[in-house]
């Protein structure tokens, strides 16, 4: 094996890895979704869903998220 | 006929790239801004500027890469022949173009179309990535409903001030977990009903994208006046089925017997509300995990500064490498020597080596979102990788 080629192979591999990572982050952060992935997960769970609705009600009464049980849900 | 040839040339070289650019620029939720029902002249007019820009950029790049070797005056002669086909004799440049250059022109046009599509989507994504559409009104997309339902509207300049007035305590750059909506709807009989649920999607009117066509709610409830037949006294957070109706009546804690409305669960998976019946919408943005973050203490701020400084140094190094080939640093200077004596891939290896070195000093985030140094979990693996790269580079140089 020609060791001179090793950094070149590493370089090319790393280069494509960086590009792939960059595009993944770039496209993930520029998605146009109304509902977040975490939000969907909460709504899929019946208990959390009910707790979340209760937290929203509490928030409507108090106007302060820290006074609600939201932290426990998310 | 003359006009047709001239127009075809203009259409292929300017209008189509412009249309492609616009088609891909308006992606995702903003794709309604571009639709085929647009008047032709309107579409053509809006495609000219991006079309010209794309054409100039591709022409410059490809001529720099020696894709074609043609003088600008010859291009002008060919276009002139296309435009005045009947009134003049065909120029020798045009004849040569048809004999030798037609295939290359088709290939060139395909490259232009691909570049237009790619640059359209990338420029749009870059604009969103840098949040330029939120910071500057000039870059904003026309779909205001997306900004409203996603909560990005709160980051608009005008709404930032309102944020302090309203009791919603979403901090700066707060991500929205879900958007909860109370929607007042009027039916054909003129009666009004209130619905609530989590906004999952919406449709815009085809002819007027500022109007809402449909609103989709998840976990929807409707509010109704209490009466003796369907109201059940219940304890906190209890749900049960009504015998007279197939609705569930949910009693949320502290909801009193004589409250003006009862919340009734709507059986089904998704509620679709017609936009034309919607009277008004009250939105509540539910904050995401970031809210759980403890306010950054002094140590956290210092570590953040370290992180940003390393990021800044690395970014400067990348920019230096990008502009390296275009600047003459002076003969025998260190940078010029580096520029001339290292290959492209060696420069990449150098960058990785340098980044791995600086990565050792980068603090890591714990589960609560605080920055800290964890030797075993983050620093040790980085040091090991750094040593491995050092060995491989050393082996490379002694060979």
pLDDT in tens, B81-110: 776 666 557 777 777 777 777 888 888 899
Q: How many CB atoms lie within 10 A of CB B63?
A: 13
pLDDT in tens, B106-135: 888 999 999 999 999 999 999 998 889 988
Token pair 């390296």: residue: B324
pLDDT in tens, B278-327: 999 999 988 886 554 544 566 677 777 787 888 888 778 777 777 766 66
CB distance B150–A34 less than 8 Å? Answer: yes
Return the closest-CA partner of residue B124 out of B56, B205, B209, B34: B34
CB distance B349–A11 less than 8 Å? Answer: yes
CA distances from B91 to B75, B80, B81, B86 (A): 11, 9, 7, 12
Structure confidence at residue A14 (pLDDT):
74
- CA–CA separation, A57 vs B96, rounded Å? 77
Question: Chain B residue closest to A3 (CA)?
Answer: B396
Look at residue B7 and tell me whether its pLDDT is greater than 70: yes
| Window 32-51 of A, Cβ < 8 Å to B | 32-36, 38-39, 42-43, 49-50
Q: Which residues contact A13 (CB under 8 A, 6 or more apart)?
A: none
CB distance B252–A39 less than 8 Å? Answer: no
Determine which of A34-38, A66-70, B215-219, B294-298 has the lowest per-residue pLDDT on average.
Answer: B294-298
Structure confidence at residue B293 (pLDDT):
52
**Greater confidence, B80 or B256?**
B80
Q: How large is the average pLDDT for residues A20-47?
A: 87
Structure confidence at residue B399 (pLDDT):
66
- Mutation choice for A interface testing from B198, B202, B234 by most A CBs within 10 A: B198
Q: Which residues contact B365 (CB under 8 A, 6 or more apart)?
A: B371
% of chain B residues with pLDDT over 70 = 76
**Assembly ipTM:** 0.83
Which range among B31-40, B81-90, B210-219, B299-308 has the greatest average pLDDT? Answer: B210-219
Structure confidence at residue A4 (pLDDT):
57
CA dihedral of A53, A56, A58, A64, whole degrees rounded to 10: 150
Q: Give residue B60's Cα distance to chain centre.
A: 28
pLDDT in tens, A45-70: 888 888 999 999 988 888 888 788 88
Nearest residue, CB atoms, B399 vs list A3, A29, A64: A3
Measured at the alpha carbon of residue B142, what is the angle toward residues B283 and B173, in degrees to the nearest 5? 50
CA dihedral of B160, B165, B169, B175, whole degrees rounded to 10: -20
**Predicted TM-score of the model (pTM):** 0.68
Structure confidence at residue B243 (pLDDT):
38
**Greater confidence, B129 or B159?**
B129
- Mutation choice for B interface testing from A14, A16, A35, A51 by most B CBs within 10 A: A35
Helix and strand element counts for chain B (H, E): 13, 10
Structure confidence at residue B327 (pLDDT):
63
CB distance B392–A70 less than 8 Å? Answer: no
Return the closest-CA partner of residue B252 out of A44, A60, A64: A60
- CA–CA separation, B318 vs B301, rounded Å? 26
Structure confidence at residue B282 (pLDDT):
92
Ramachandran area for residue B223 (φ above 0: left; ψ -120 to 50: alpha; else beta): beta
Radius of gyration of chain B (CA): 31
Distance separating the N- and C-terminal Cα atoms of chain A: 53
**Greater confidence, B216 or B97?**
B216
Look at residue B230 and tell me whether its pLDDT is greater than 60: no
- CA–CA separation, B70 vs A54, rounded Å? 71
% of chain B residues with pLDDT over 90 = 21
Q: How large is the average pLDDT for residues B58-84?
A: 76
Structure confidence at residue A31 (pLDDT):
85
Return the closest-CA partner of residue B209 out of B142, B124, B134: B142
Q: How large is the average pLDDT for residues B159-178?
A: 65
Structure confidence at residue B86 (pLDDT):
62
Measured between beta carbons, the chain B residues lying within 8 angstroms of A32 are 27-30, 128, 146, 150
Structure confidence at residue B226 (pLDDT):
67
CB distance B178–A71 less than 8 Å? Answer: no
Helices (DSSP H) in chain B: which residue ranges? 2-10, 16-25, 40-64, 72-83, 92-96, 102-129, 132-135, 144-150, 157-165, 298-323, 334-341, 344-359, 380-398
- CA–CA separation, B148 vs B162, rounded Å? 14
CA distances from B191 to B224, B227, B249, B277, B278 (A): 12, 18, 21, 11, 12
- The pLDDT mean for chain B works out to 77
Determine which of B67-76, B103-112, B287-296, B364-373 has the lowest per-residue pLDDT on average.
Answer: B287-296
- CA–CA separation, B96 vs B368, rounded Å? 70
Q: Give residue B1's Cα distance to chain centre.
A: 44
Radius of gyration of chain A (CA): 23
Could you tell me the two tokens for B25? 């620029």
Q: How large is the average pLDDT for residues B249-253?
A: 47
């Amino acid at each position: 094996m020609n060791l001179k080629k090793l950094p070149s192979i590493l370089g090319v591999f790393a280069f494509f890895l960086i590009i792939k990572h960059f595009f993944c982050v770039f496209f993930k952060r520029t998605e146009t979704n109304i509902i977040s992935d975490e939000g969907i997960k909460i709504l899929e769970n019946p208990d959390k869903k009910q707790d979340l609705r209760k937290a929203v009600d509490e928030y409507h009464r108090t106007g302060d998220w820290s006074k609600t049980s939201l932290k426990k849900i998310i | 006929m003359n006009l047709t040839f001239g127009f075809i040339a203009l259409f292929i070289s300017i209008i189509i790239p412009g249309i492609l650019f616009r088609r891909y620029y308006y992606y995702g939720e903003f794709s309604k801004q571009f639709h085929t029902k647009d008047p032709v002249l309107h579409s053509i007019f809006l495609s000219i500027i991006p079309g010209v820009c794309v054409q100039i950029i591709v022409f410059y790049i490809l001529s720099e890469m020696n894709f074609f070797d043609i003088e600008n005056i010859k291009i002008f002669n060919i276009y002139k022949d296309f435009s005045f086909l009947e009134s003049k004799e065909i120029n020798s440049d045009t004849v040569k173009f048809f004999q030798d250059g037609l295939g290359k022109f088709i290939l060139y046009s395909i490259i232009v179309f691909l570049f237009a599509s790619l640059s359209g989507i990338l420029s749009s994504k870059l604009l969103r990535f840098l949040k330029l559409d939120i910071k500057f009104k000039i870059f904003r997309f026309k779909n205001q409903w997306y900004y409203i339902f996603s909560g990005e509207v709160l980051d608009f300049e005008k709404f930032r001030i309102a944020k302090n007035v309203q009791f919603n305590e979403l901090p700066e750059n707060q991500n929205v977990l879900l958007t909860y909506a109370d929607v007042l709807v009027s039916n054909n009989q003129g009666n009004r009903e209130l619905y609530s649920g989590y906004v999952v999607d919406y449709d815009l009117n085809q002819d007027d994208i500022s109007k809402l066509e449909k609103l989709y709610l998840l976990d929807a409830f409707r509010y109704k006046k209490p009466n003796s037949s369907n109201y059940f006294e219940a304890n906190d957070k209890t749900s049960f089925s009504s015998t007279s109706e197939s609705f569930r009546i949910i009693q949320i804690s502290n909801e009193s017997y004589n409250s003006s409305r009862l919340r009734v669960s709507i059986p089904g998976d998704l509620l679709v509300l017609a936009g034309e019946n919607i009277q008004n919408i009250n939105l509540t943005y539910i904050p995401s995990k970031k809210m759980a973050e403890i306010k950054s203490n002094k140590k956290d701020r210092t570590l953040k500064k370290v992180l940003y400084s390393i990021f800044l140094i690395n970014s400067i190094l990348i920019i230096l490498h990008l502009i390296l080939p275009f600047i003459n640093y002076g003969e025998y200077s260190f940078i010029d020597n580096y520029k001339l004596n290292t290959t492209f891939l060696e420069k990449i290896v150098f960058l990785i080596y340098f980044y791995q070195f600086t990565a050792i000093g980068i603090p890591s985030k714990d589960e609560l979102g605080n920055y800290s140094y964890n030797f075993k979990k983050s620093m040790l693996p980085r040091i090991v990788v750094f040593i491995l790269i050092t060995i491989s580079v050393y082996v490379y140089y002694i060979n």
